[in-house]
Amino acid sequence: MKASNIRNIAIIAHVDHGKTTLIDSIFKQSGMVRENQQLGERVMDSNDLERERGITILAKCTAIEWEGTKINIIDTPGHADFGGEVERVLDMADGAILLVDAAEGPLPQTKFVLGKALKLGMRPILLINKIDRPDARPDEVHNEVFDLFASLDANDEQLDFPTLYASGRDGWCAESLDAPRENLHPLLELVLRHVPPPQVDANGPFKMLTTLLEADPYLGRVLTGKVYSGAAKVNMSVKSLDVTGDHVESFRLTKLLTFNGIERVPANEVIAGDIICVAGMKATSVADTVCSPEVKEPIPAHPVDPPTMAVTITVNDSPYAGLEGKKLTSTMIATRLKAEAETNVAIRVTESANKDAFELAGRGELQLGVLIETMRREGFELSVSRPRVLFKEEDGQKLEPYEEVIVDVDDEYTGAVMDKLTQRKAEMTDMRPSGGGKTRLTFRAPSRGLIGYQGQFLTDTRGTGLMNRLFHSYGPYKGDIGGRRNGALISTDKGPAVAYAIFNLQDRGVMFIEHQTPVYQGMIVGEHSRENDLDINVLKGKKLTNIRASGSDEAVTLVPPRRMSLEEMMSWINEDELVEVTPRSLRLRKRHLTPQERELAKKAEKKKGAE
């Protein structure tokens, strides 16, 4: 095989526009799946959290063969929190397929990933996807994408992008809307014609830029990346250089792998232009160059955007600590977080002076939430603070992160959304009808003001609104932002909650617990309908003097409790509150559990403010 017989493409898009599903169909049609092999849905989304949440979290590679050419395909995550990953993996690709939902049109992440691809000089292929949707509006979407290319300063060659119309799920694409809808061959043929083969030096010394890192149970550290020059054989001696050119380590390539369909296969030799995996190193990480010993200069790698948001993680010290988890100590938490920071370049971990608290910084609530959720499944117990944005100081000016927010709502709710976002110091930059009685509003908003807004947004739009957010830039600090949620309902006692007590208290607000939920003093059991916190006793049942009373006790009708995801909980809490994360439970609590401690803390806070 030669580099001219290889194509490396990344599939990029906004979240949910159908990247992973398209790859399923490509698999089926490229002969990579054996006749009798059962192919599930979204095969590339292989980890548990990806399958449960229905989103791609980690970029992954796969390869197919088409008319004698090997096409390496990189599936990328569409959610904005994982944008750093997309930016890096584009280094492996020589071309990109930009997917845009035929109904939704370009959304914030479309703009972000397209901007990155154009900057790298790629000439993306546009695939207007989900044409089967009854609300598809392909012609309009095509125009919107053209405008987007233009606004991102695409050059003439890039503006002249080829377009395909497709339903990835149904497995077809076509060059025009009235062409026959048969299969995905037009896409594969276009990739061969339009995407250049990797521009590499086949005869130079071996050089590979590492892009993805994973820990394999058998192979140890495995790095995936593109070979930029030369070839390598198993057992060859190599070294690695970091971005600045410093020597990281010298080692032997104990294993080489290439991609083949859903699988990775061992190879004796790898060549320039291919995307491969190597093993054998101990310290080499993402963005390092693995190369022959004589190489002096590393391959330039793209710096990843710095974190904009952080939470503080501490040990779980609630009365229920240790009941579910096995990994409780700050030493264990520290080891795990540091290991994560090593493989996950978008995350940064810092330890407090006395080593009992950790700042976990990343790109957004979802990215932080995914790590916390993963740790919880590994048996950890943790306390998590409210996320806060990371400020920057430039020329003596305080700066904070801003996001672009695109909201699609039924016309009747535009007023409510504009009111609330303005209160949170957002500025509207665009407003236009988006068809079917809906309006698309675009804002620029300080990230700080958006924390915890999702719940409000869903309430204000009766659950029908769609909101998309993307980091925009750092800008001047916007001053105080109000918009505090209502107070908390706090349990005064420890034990299982009683239906009868909840029943009597449910007009005080929205409950988060139900009959028999174990609670403790200082645990938050609901949201008060007023602004202040309220201590309530959810254990005080009717005296259970006889069986009948107990039976009727359970028969009282309760309003169903509000259930929140980890990320929702994280942004619901205030500074003086925590999310208690254990393997089987998620609880909300006051940082200080007794009213006396809370009073003292409040006084101390006031005193600090007055000084």
Q: How far is the CB of 185 from Mg ion (least distance, A)?
A: 22
Q: What tokens does 486 get?
A: 């209502």
Question: Which ranges in 359-488 belong to alpha helices (H)?
Answer: 365-377, 414-423, 447-450, 453-460
Among ligand GTP, Mg ion, none, the one that 80 touches (CB under a kind-dependent 5 to 8 A) is: none
SS3 state at 91: helix
Is there binding between residue 7 and ligand GTP (CB under 6 A)? no
Nearer to ligand GTP, 16 or 288 (CB): 16
Scan for tokens 């194509």, then name that residue.
7
Question: Which residue number, 19 or 386, has a Cβ lying nearer to Mg ion?
Answer: 19
Query: 341 with 362: CB under 8 angstroms?
Result: no
Q: Which CB, 106 or 198, lies closer to ligand GTP?
A: 106
77 is a site residue for ligand GTP (CB under 6 A): yes
Choose, by CB under 6 A, the member of 42, 194, 348, 388 that binds ligand GTP: 42
Distance in Å, CB of 102 to ligand GTP, minimum: 8
Given candidates 19, 386, 469, 515, which one binds Mg ion under the rule CB under 5 A?
A: 19
| 463: Cβ contacts below 8 Å, ≥ 6 apart | none
DSSP 162-208: -EEEEETTTTEEESSTTS----SHHHHHHHHHHSPPP--BTTS--EE
- Give CA–CA dist 189/558, Å, rounded: 60
Residues 134-193 interacting with ligand GTP (rule: CB under 6 A): 167-169
Can residue 468 be called a binding residue for ligand GTP (CB under 6 A)?
A: no
Q: 62 or 461, CB closer to Mg ion?
A: 62
Give dist(CA 45, CA 55) in Å, integer.
7
Q: Is 268 helix (H, G, I), strand (E, B) or coil?
A: coil
Binding partner selected for residue 300 from ligand GTP, Mg ion, none, CB under the kind-specific 5 to 8 Å limit: none
Residue 90 beta carbon to ligand GTP: minimum distance, rounded to whole angstroms: 15
Determine, following the binding rule CB under 6 A, whether residue 466 of this chain makes contact with ligand GTP: no
Cβ closest to ligand GTP, residue 373 vs residue 400: 373
130 contact choice in Mg ion, ligand GTP, none (CB below 5 to 8 Å, kind-dependent): ligand GTP
Could you say whether residue 367 binds ligand GTP (CB under 6 A)? Answer: no
- Listed in sequence order, the residues at least 6 apart from 421 whose beta carbon sits closer than 8 Å to its beta carbon are 405, 407, 428, 443, 445, 449, 453
Q: Which is nearer to Mg ion, 56 or 129 (CB)?
A: 56
Name the residue with tokens 């620029």: 444
The pair phi, psi for residue 201, each rounded to 5°, is -105, 100
Task: Considering the complex, state which of residue 20 and residue 468 has its C-beta at the smaller distance from Mg ion.
Answer: 20
* Whole-angstrom distance, CA of residue 23 vs CA of residue 89: 17
Q: Which of residues 180-219 bind Mg ion (CB under 5 A)?
A: none
* Side-chain-side CA neighbours of residue 407 (13 Å): 34
- From the CB of 251, what's the least distance to ligand GTP, in Å? 34
* Candidate residues 56, 62, 344, 492; the one interacting with Mg ion per rule CB under 5 A: 56
Alpha helix ranges (H) inside 181-329? 185-194
Which parts of 279-298 interact with ligand GTP (CB under 6 A)? none
Binding residues for ligand GTP, rule: CB under 6 A, are 13, 15-21, 42, 54-56, 77-79, 129-130, 132-133, 167-169
Binding residues for Mg ion, rule: CB under 5 A, are 19-20, 56
